Amino acid sequence: MREAVSLLREAGFEVIKAYYSIVNDLTYIDVDPEEHLRVPSFKDLLRIALKKPTKLNILRLPAYPIVRLRPSLRQLIVIVATKAREPNVQVPERWG
């Protein structure tokens, strides 16, 4: 995370907040669009994996409880920053 924060500071951003966010990976292969909206629990994941038994869906079945028990296994770096300095625009005077 330190590298990402330092890159933003070097680019002229003021970092307000930086933290790790837990990922809730609920993306499935070959699932109808409506089914993506109804996956809040492991039962729904099991239902989709049995309905559409792709390799990735079946591999996500044992991975989901492990990720829920150990959230440090899947995290995103979230950095909230504002632009600290704007570039100075200089208008050259050509006929002066």
Phi, psi (deg, nearest 5) at residue 94? -90, -35
Are 29 and 66 contained in the same domain?
A: yes
In terms of residue numbers, what domain contains 2? 1-22+75-96
User: Residue range 19-45: average pLDDT?
Assistant: 64
Contact 78, 18 (CB under 8 A): yes
User: Residue range 40-62: average pLDDT?
Assistant: 80
Are 66 and 79 contained in the same domain?
A: no
pTM above 0.75, yes or no: no
Are 58 and 88 contained in the same domain?
A: no
Are 10 and 39 contained in the same domain?
A: no
Task: Label the pairing between strands 75-83 and 13-22.
Answer: antiparallel
Instruction: Please report, to the nearest 10 degrees, the dihedral formed by the alpha carbons of residues 1, 26, 55, 51 taken in order.
Output: 180
Looking at the 3D structure of the chain, how many domains does it have? Answer: 2
Residue 35 clears pLDDT 80, i.e. is over it: no
User: Residue range 82-92: average pLDDT?
Assistant: 77
Which residues partner with 80 through β-bridges? 17
Are 16 and 34 contained in the same domain?
A: no
Query: Band of the pLDDT at 27, cuts 50, 70, 90?
Result: low
Are 43 and 83 contained in the same domain?
A: no
**Helices and strands (DSSP H and E) totals, the chain:** 4, 2
Are 30 and 54 contained in the same domain?
A: yes
Residue 55 clears pLDDT 90, i.e. is over it: no
CA-CA-CA-CA torsion sign (26, 37, 41, 68): positive
Are 35 and 62 contained in the same domain?
A: yes
User: Residue range 49-75: average pLDDT?
Assistant: 76
